[in-house]
A and B are shown apart, each in its own frame.
Chain A
Amino acid sequence: MTETIENVNQQQSSTDALLSVRDLTVTFQRQGEQPFRAVDGVSFDVRPGQTVGLVGESGCGKSVTSLAIMGLLPHRGVTVEGEVLFQGTDLLKESNNQMRDRRGRDLGMIFQDPLSSLNPVVPIGIQVTEVLERHRGMSRKAATPVARDMLDKVGIPDPERRLKDYPHQLSGGMRQRALIAMALACQPRVLIADEPTTALDVTIQAQILALLRDLVQDTGTALVMITHDLGVVAGLCDSVNVLYAGKIVERGDRHPLFAAPRHPYTAGLLSSIPRLDAPRGERLTPIPGSVSDNLPWDHACAFAPRCPNALEVCREVRPELVDDGSRALRCHNPVEVNR
């Protein structure tokens, strides 16, 4: 099986990985309904100081992957299989209490909508000190200066005053900075950012991305960047995983992947975004169809109905992820590289 080859390949590279996700499969089961596999055999590694992107459109399993790593999926009706190794320990086997101790201390997470992710009735300062009190055993008094330094570090001006502010008194960018401060207060080794810039204005997006890049470089945090925005990926990620319908369809380092996408889905994503260096008047090419056209992965390529390169075999045989160490691809008929 190619899956096993893939595992062997990654086992070699995972010796220095901080977080390695192995064959993660998340199935949602509702009474009286067909089980739905949101994430299907996803594997990737993140090394300290590295930024790994998970890219894909809505419903491809990006956020479910992040919640599964954090142990935040509900227990009822959800089956999580595979392994999430953090420094060699399988997080999926840990108890609720062990995971609660890890969250915020070893694993941090930033969410999409900074306003709704902050408690509206508690001042920012208390929300930051809460994490320090919880994981460092500090008193409120001792944690306050640390929280102030944290706010300063994420670029919130006048942090002393902002400590007492409520979330509605901050602007959108400030709120996201405050959320980042909360997530990084205990210096977690792994930070998962779930669409951290989607709810922000473009100018603020750039600032937040620069902030994340600096923090990753300064502290050696491993960053998992979940996004549908290829611009974010291009600016930040070292390695990119493209997800489609719960499976990784292509993986590669940022530059080779963007320069020469092999999977028709990746190629389609890239040609559907505007580029400054494209000739004037050139039209954008959308990917036809929608996720609802997908075939089941069991014995076909899910992307086949929307794929310009689809062959007969694509609707009959499931393509496997072929990994040559630096690049991985799941396609019967990849885009030719004419270079």
Chain B
Amino acid sequence: MSDNPLKSHSDRRKQRIDDLAATAGDTARTDTVTTAGTVEEAPGVSLIASAWRRLRRNPVFIVGAVITLIFIILALISPWIAPHDPAAQPLLDKVRQGSNPVPGPEPGFPLGADPAGRDLLSRLLVGAQQTLYVGVVATVFGLVGGLTLGTLAGAFGGWVDSFVMRMVDVMLAIPSLLLAMSIAALAPRPSQMTLIIAIAIVQVPIFARLLRGSMLAVRGSDHVLAARALGVKRSAIVFRHILPNSLAPVIVQSTLVLATSIIDAAALSFLGLGNPDDRKPEWGQMLGASQHLIGDYPHLAFYPAACIIIVALGFTLMGESLREALDPKTRR
């Protein structure tokens, strides 16, 4: 079999799936030359492999990924690297006896202590863990709920679709933080779980809408028609042929949503709707506790606020560059 026409052909196909519908008009582009080199090694380069090649050279992605990675590692190992127990009050005596209600930095306490005499650095580190936990668990819950609703709407269509999507539209019409606050305020006693549930519920409509739209697009694609031409059952069409091909935008979106859920969690904790137990520090809660001292001791608010901003920025940078790399419309 002659190999060359075959390869240049698969090449053109590849280029086409890369560019997808966005550039369907100009399939006869001349930049097949650029991919020709790589195709020599393998008959094709998958979507993910080519996205990864672009991501590796994207400084925005690298910065975002490094921030995210450092945050996750610190959060995971914080109980072992924190110099002190975040709940212990080693400097309580100093607070009580001295004229200074907030002890400054001293040996063993690089950032000083809070008004209760607890080591600030340790509280920040362990707070990272709480923040990560709340953000990730809330996003996972939101993802599960959103995927369920989105699959229902995208698979059945018709009135099920209309019903689910109108509910989703109503939820999306309410500003997300306001909705989360209302849901969290419904709970008789604020706790970490009510905080997580409130944030998760706010995320459900985002994922549901995204997945449903992406499933609708895949439902009309050639390979679904081909599967239907083989008599494949509806359930198999949905779960084997439509759903797996619709997940990419949802996965990318979840990294972006992680950033908002961290910010939302901090905001709700700040407002006293999170975990009230301050022996388990959380950044938003630390921020809230420091507000009456912000005039005299701004560093108490500065450290947790900076942590929230940097972490949210990291997730956003990573999510945005991921989305760009996988979005056919921004491809070159």
Which A residues lie at the B interface, using CB under 8 A?
Answer: 70, 72, 100-105, 108-109, 111, 113, 115-122, 130-131, 134-135, 166, 168-173, 179, 182-183, 199-204, 207
Closest to A96 in B: B234
The interface-forming segment of B134-142, B165-173, B195-203, B224-232 is: B224-232
**How near does chain A come to B123, taking the closest CB pair, in angstroms?**
45
Q: Is the beta-carbon distance between A111 and B6 smaller than 8 angstroms?
A: no
24 inter-chain pairs at a CB distance below 8 angstroms, sorted by A residue, are A70-B229, A101-B231, A103-B230, A103-B231, A109-B229, A111-B225, A111-B229, A116-B17, A116-B223, A117-B225, A119-B245, A120-B17, A120-B223, A134-B230, A168-B47, A171-B6, A171-B9, A171-B10, A172-B10, A199-B13, A201-B5, A201-B9, A203-B6, A204-B9
* A72-B229 contact, Cβ under 8 Å, with A111-B222, A115-B13: yes
**How near does chain A come to B222, taking the closest CB pair, in angstroms?**
4
CA gap between A172 and B13 in the complex, in Å: 8
Q: Is the beta-carbon distance between A170 and B231 smaller than 8 angstroms?
A: no
Q: Indicate if B97 sits at the interface (CB-CB under 8 A).
A: no
Closest 3 CB pairs of A and B: A104-B231, A103-B231, A104-B230
Closest to B5 in A: A201
**How near does chain A come to B162, taking the closest CB pair, in angstroms?**
15
Interface size on B, residues (CB 8 A): 35
* A121-B244 contact, Cβ under 8 Å, with A116-B223, A169-B42, A169-B44: yes
Q: Is the beta-carbon distance between A179 and B2 smaller than 8 angstroms?
A: no
Closest to A119 in B: B223
Q: Is the beta-carbon distance between B231 and A102 smaller than 8 angstroms?
A: yes
User: Residue among A115, A182, A204 with the most chain B CB within 10 A?
Assistant: A115
Kindly list chain B residues whose C-beta atoms are within 8 Å of the C-beta of A70.
229
Q: Indicate if B182 sits at the interface (CB-CB under 8 A).
A: no
**How near does chain A come to B220, taking the closest CB pair, in angstroms?**
10
* A119-B240 contact, Cβ under 8 Å, with A171-B7, A172-B6, A203-B2: yes
Kindly list chain B residues whose C-beta atoms are within 8 Å of the C-beta of A172.
6, 9-10, 13
CA gap between A266 and B230 in the complex, in Å: 34
Q: Indicate if B14 sits at the interface (CB-CB under 8 A).
A: yes
CA gap between A131 and B155 in the complex, in Å: 21
Per-residue contact bits, chain B 1-38, to A (CB 8 Å; 1 contact, 0 not): 11001111110011011000000000000000000000
**How near does chain B come to A315, taking the closest CB pair, in angstroms?**
36
**How near does chain A come to B149, taking the closest CB pair, in angstroms?**
22
Q: Indicate if B291 sits at the interface (CB-CB under 8 A).
A: no
Q: Indicate if B66 sits at the interface (CB-CB under 8 A).
A: no
Closest to A114 in B: B13
